[in-house]
């Protein structure tokens, strides 16, 4: 389980201008809100489970756990990073009540979480 956020505005990848002229590039101030996807993958599910939110906080992570009720087996192990919303006491309590064991990755070891490959794919498609 993990989350990712992205803005959905289109990004310019290149543009033309006269040679030897200075470039002043600034971000559009009217970019819109970012979108956060909280999701999980499992070798026991036929598809990725996810919810869309505006941010990552304890309330949103709790909503994701509620989304998993009936889809996740008791006794499973959920792998998470050390985001403050993941490590809160209320999330630990929620997981315990659902029969989920939480396993936290070492700091700066996101490459150990297979869902990171999914996030890279989704961000490319979103943009």
Higher pLDDT, 79 or 11: 79
C-alpha closest to that of 88 among 51, 111, 110, 56: 56
Q: Between 48 and 61, whose confidence is greater? A: 61
Q: In whole angstroms, what separates CA 125 from the centre of its chain?
A: 15
Rounded to two decimals, the pTM is 0.76
pLDDT attached to residue 122: 78
Picking from 45, 11, 51, the residue whose alpha carbon sits closest to that of residue 28 is 11
Q: What mean pLDDT do residues 12-25 have? A: 67
Q: Are strands 34-40 and 101-104 parallel, antiparallel or unpaired?
A: unpaired
Query: What is the pLDDT at residue 51?
Result: 94
pLDDT at 123 over 80: no
Residue 98: exposure state from Cβ atoms within 10 A (0-12, 13-18, ≥19):
middle
pLDDT at 50: 92
* pLDDT value, residue 27: 60
Q: What is the pLDDT of residues 67-99, one digit of tens each?
A: 999 998 889 999 999 899 999 999 999 999 999
User: Minimum mean pLDDT among 6-20, 53-67, 99-113: which range?
Assistant: 6-20
């Amino acid at each position: 389980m993990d989350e990712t956020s992205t803005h959905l505005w289109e990004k310019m990848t290149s543009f033309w201008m006269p040679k030897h002229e200075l470039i002043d590039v600034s971000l559009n101030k009217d970019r819109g809100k970012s979108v956060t996807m909280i999701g999980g993958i499992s070798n026991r599910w036929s598809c990725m489970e996810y919810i869309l939110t505006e941010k990552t906080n304890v309330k949103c992570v709790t909503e994701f756990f509620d989304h998993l009720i009936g889809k996740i087996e008791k006794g499973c192990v959920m792998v998470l990073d050390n985001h403050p919303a993941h490590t809160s006491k209320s999330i630990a309590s929620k997981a315990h009540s659902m029969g989920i064991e939480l396993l936290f990755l070492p700091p700066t070891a996101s490459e150990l979480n297979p869902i990171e490959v999914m996030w890279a794919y989704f961000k490319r498609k979103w943009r």
